[in-house]
Each structure stands twice: as structure tokens, then as C-alpha cells.
Chain A
Amino acid sequence: MGTLKKLELAVGVFVVLGLAAFFMLAMKVSNIADLGEDKGYKITARFENVGGLKVRAPVTLGGVRIGRVVGIDLDPRSYEAVVTLSIEPKYDRLPTDSGASILTSGVLGEQYVGLEPGGMDEYLKNGGSLKLTQSALVLEKLIGRMLTNAASGDQPPTKTP
């Protein structure tokens, strides 16, 4: 009956190993940390064009991730995109005149919202909104502008007296 004990022990270890593997997958590999994050306060920002921004994209300030995008909607009357950001509670000193831009990480990476701090002494609270926004750069428009610049670059710039 000693072999039975060893066998049961081996099976127990095996099951524990398997569960530990899944635990590791859940904790270290996946974004489970993100799942508990809705303690943040919500602010909105309006953009003309959100480009390729997706829900759950990061929100950074000075390169540091302080929150994420939790909603992207369209305002049917002003035809503006309304992006809802969830900021972690510990970053509660965002001046109300801060600016938000939609940037791209790297040349071909995913898009995220970068914040620039303003100078006011009042800070954003839950439900607040950012007024200064810069929309995403749309590649086609960029190229179009480059082409028109190149075309008009042959003529000397006209100077107004």
C-alpha cells in the first residue's frame, strides 16, 4: 500500500502544478491587474477625430500611465467624439486646463491619450472634462498636406508688406 500513497502524492503534486501554471498565466501573463480598476474617477474629453483609439487604451501624463480609456461615444448634435477617461484615484491633482492629445506609440503602435498639465489651481474631479484637445493625426490628411506643401513649395513664398 506504500505505492498507493506515493501515487496519490504524485497526482496531488501534478494537480497543484497545473493549477499553479494557470495561476501564473492569470497573474503574470494576462492583464488581470486591470480588471479591478474601476475605482478611478471619470473625466471626458471631446475630439474631432479619435483616429484608431480603442477602449482600454492607456492614458498617460509625462509618459506615466495614470488611467485608461473606458468609453468612446459620438455626440449626435455637435458631431464630436466624446472620450471617457478613467483616472486612478491617486492622481487627483490634474489642473482643469490640462490638455489631452491622441498620440501613437512608436511609428506603427497603438494609440493612447497623452495629457499635458495646465497651470490652474483647480483640479479635475469626477465628471469633469478637458477643454484643450488635439485630435489624432490621420495619416491620409498628413500625406495630403505634405503633397500640397510640396506642390506649392516651388513658388517663392509671397510676403505681405
Chain B
Amino acid sequence: MIEGLQRLGRATLFWFNRLGRATLFLLRLLGALAALGRRPGLIAKQLYSVGVLSLPIIAMSGLFVGMVLGLQGYANLVDFGATSSLGTVVALSLVRELGPVLAALLYAARAGSALTAEIGLMKATEQLAAMQMMAVDPFARVFAPRFVAGVIAMPLLAGIFTAIGILGGYFVAVQQLGVDSGAFWSQMQAAVRLVDDVINGVVVKSVVFGWVANWIAVFEGYDAIPTSEGISLATTRTVVNTALVVLALDFVLTAIFFGA
């Protein structure tokens, strides 16, 4: 009993310690942003690996999620004769919640874990130490470009996920299930507000999630124990922690924006 409490206390202290380290890391990262402004090419290269290479999984998942929403929404609305609202259901679900959240989770799984593994490996093979000894700050040269590229890529990916999802829902609803095309779009347009739903939903949420996901991914790589086991643990931690934090933040943001 006592031992359990002790362990809990130690774990909590350890967690706070880590959080403090992560915060200091973020501050140092932000400090290196200014130097980055002179080297935009570094960001472009990272945008390719976290953005472009994530497109396939984001697009495919968006399509499937949208189609499922169309199916499920139809199955539930047809009993009330309210299938004309299917467009609204699909659009609001994606724009307010599923778009930003699922895109963030998929991003963490694909791009976040890759970032952590790459940085962890650089640490294990002494590339980061070599850079320091060459008087080059790894924060400016390695961490900041990856972080900035990820923060830019996240909202774009969430937007693509949402848009493709709505198109997928349209395809299933109108082409397959016979919902009226005009009703699908017009009801949606009447119900989905630009500022209240799209901006507060997809845009704000995905920007926030982008910060969180990339912060965690880069920090876990930096903090990894430089062995193959350590890197594997760090990569797992990135995906798990990003998922937890994103879902928790989603609750907070939903309560702020969409709570009654």
C-alpha cells in the first residue's frame, strides 16, 4: 500500500519533471525561430516529409470516414424521413470534430513518430553532438525547421481530410443512397457557419493540435535514450501522448466553442 503511494508520488514528480523539460525545450525552440527566417529552404524540405508524404494516408482515411458518415447518417435519419439533413450531419461532424481530431491522430502516427525516430537516431549516432561540436545549434538547424513545417502542415492536412470526407459523404449519399443532391448541399450550407463552425472547428483546432503534435514529436526525439530500445520507446510515447493530449484539448475546445 505504502509502496504503491510512493511509486505514484515518484511517477508524478517524474511527470512534472518531464513537463518542465518539455517546456524549456519549447522555449528554446521558439528562440531559434528567428535564425530560421534566413533559411526557408530547411522548412521546405521538412514540409515535404511531414506534409506531402502524409497526404496518402490523410486523403484515404478522410474518404473512408466521410463515406462511413454518409452511410451511418443515412441509416439513422431515414427512420425520421430526414435524409435531406444528411449533408448537414456529415459536414458538421467532420468540420467540428472528426476532421481536426482524426487528422491529428493520423499525423501523430505517421509523421510524428517518424520525426521522433529520426531525431532519436541522430542523437544515438552522435550526429547532434557532432553538430554542437561544430558550433552549429541543433535547435536552429534540426528541431526548429521540423517543428515549423509540422505546424504549417497540420491545418492543411486537416482541411484536406475534412474536404475529402465531405466529398466522400456526398458520393455515398447522393450517388449510392439516392439522397437529393440539391438538398444535400443547400441544407449543409444553411447549417454550417463559416466562423462558428469552420474557423472555430477545423482551423483553430487543427492549429492547436499542430502545435501539440509537433512539440511532442520533436521533444520525444530530443529526450530519447540513445539506444535502439530507447528510440522505440520514444516513438511509442509520441503517438500515445499526442493522442491523449489531442483528445483532452479537443474536449476543452469543444466546450469553449460549441458548448451551450
Contact = CB atoms under 8 A, between A and B. Distances in A.
- Indicate if A touches B (C-beta under 8 A): yes
A10 interface: yes
A46 B18 CA distance: 63
Interface residues of B, number: 35
Contacts of A146: none
Nearest to A6: B48
A128 to B, nearest CB: 26
Nearest to B47: A11
Contacts of B194: 26, 30-32, 35
A17 B44 contact: no
Contact of B44 (A8, A22, A28, A32): A8
Interface string A9-36: 0110111011111101110111111010
A106 interface: yes
Contact of A31 (B44, B45, B166, B190): B190
B44 A30 contact: no
A53 to B, nearest CB: 15
B52 A10 contact: yes
A55 interface: no
Interface in B123-150: none
A30 B192 contact: yes
Interface of B: 44-45, 47-48, 51-52, 55, 80-82, 91, 95, 152-153, 155-157, 159-160, 162-164, 166, 185, 188-194, 197-198, 202-203
Interface of A: 7-8, 10-11, 13-15, 17-22, 24-26, 28-33, 35, 58, 106, 108
18 contacts: A7-B44, A7-B45, A11-B48, A13-B52, A14-B156, A15-B47, A15-B51, A17-B160, A21-B156, A21-B160, A22-B163, A25-B163, A25-B202, A26-B198, A30-B189, A30-B198, A31-B190, A31-B194
